[in-house]
Chains A and B, each alone.
Chain A
């Protein structure tokens, strides 16, 4: 197991190197620079400022310098916030994003599993159709549309929750979390329904029934764990979806999270913040996928990872 994780971490660094390189050059193909988009300097002044930040040097040199700093753990300084350290900027924005993401994922997956179970156990009844309907809504309505609906009804019409911003404690997180949860909810519901129906018709379920197990025991003791396996597989992509979803949701609800900062950085070509955030997202995703792989083995003994051969 330890050997496996070490191997995975090694691959993670290679992946990160490739992502950093690709992002760096892609970003440099964008028109404009942090300076040109922000100010009305004349060409001479521009040249002076560019020289100061090293933006006048040839691309390979800039790339080499950036990577050298990156290896030492230095993500550079922001162009838009008067030389603020990018690492500090990201960390300062982590809190709200993390709360939203975790709440959205847990809420979505939990409710999705419940809906999927109900649908599978009460197949072809009104319960099944109801939960399938909710799942279809969750898949087909984009989160920003849903978020706007929530704002209109919950905040403006009924005045239950704050419309936006991050200044009312936990209450501020409720609506964005619900909006974020819709995607995972729909995915989990669909996966669990399909898989439960399949598992419930398998031989070992008949054997469990022939042992005298009640339908409740059959569903939760025998079928549920087996039905979870495919859902675990999509947890990784689901978490990725939450990241991109949060870019939109954080903007709609004006939440000071990483996503909102990321979008702003792209608008003003704040190279170092773009790079830093991309790398942070990558590390996060790779980590989630590693966790999913480990979870896999815990749920299904057949794919339990044994040291060395993976």
Chain B
């Protein structure tokens, strides 16, 4: 046994969204401190939306996160719509599902291609890869651009969508735009297969680490649940979305400006791996094939496999988007007037929503008064739900790494945190604690 001291201090971890720190202190072979800390400045969104109108909340809460702005907008709209009994058309539902696929693809490609791949290829960022592996980098860029082009056509732009509004869309894509989009998605399939081979060629660098945990996400009998579904846990089964607080149980940790969460065990995990674990059967055929290439099957307890699960989901999103566009075409895309505003009669009510966004299940919960002014809001963010799991993984992983050098331990821990694709700005959207 190695009796040496090990000190690891990663202040403001790179290649993740937001500010987080890793601290490990080993004295004579004994781990004295091992912590995941969140130091991002808190942002108080739940206080900011109080007093604002029903048709503004999605615009404000979109700003919780630039990377998952479509997901936040959709969760916000769904909560407002639930509170006021607003229904949307089947066409709008399909267009929203496409928007969500676009963001999941964009975010996953960015994460796997630009943030994770450099670790597997032994470099500090994608910038040197652009010189050493130009074809691979161009392929990732092409996939990324397809996903962004999809967001643009559905939402008006890629970051902070403009067209998504309560009750539907202010503007929708034309038939020809949708069929061009389908062509782009079909053309992306060979790139996806090449990307899967590329990741597979370096997947041996993913640490073989397993710690049993609970996985939570949405599930549905009809499809691979992303836009809607029931709450599901690998430990306790399903529950209605309205009961989300009994799943999330958020609590405060002194070393963190973000809230943490726990359910049946001391921590749980959300995100692509949780979704694949819960809904593997509903993946598209090619997505299952890619999962098979990596031996990814439910229930997989290796958090490093989250990046592989993201790749599998990109493939699923491409195939499912083609299916949705075919359906929209078969149903006959119904045009709408310019500057369209669905009819909404604001009323008092309470609405809860859950949407699967790139990093996991996201909840928005609003209360409105009779004028349609928000009186209370709560948002539970995927990364908050993962902080506890990251910390426990670290505490389990570190004692197995003591034979390694500080540099190697540091890299493995950085890779662990990156595997969760944490969105730290999101997770500090607010920190709440009942007055002591």
**A and B: interacting chains:** no
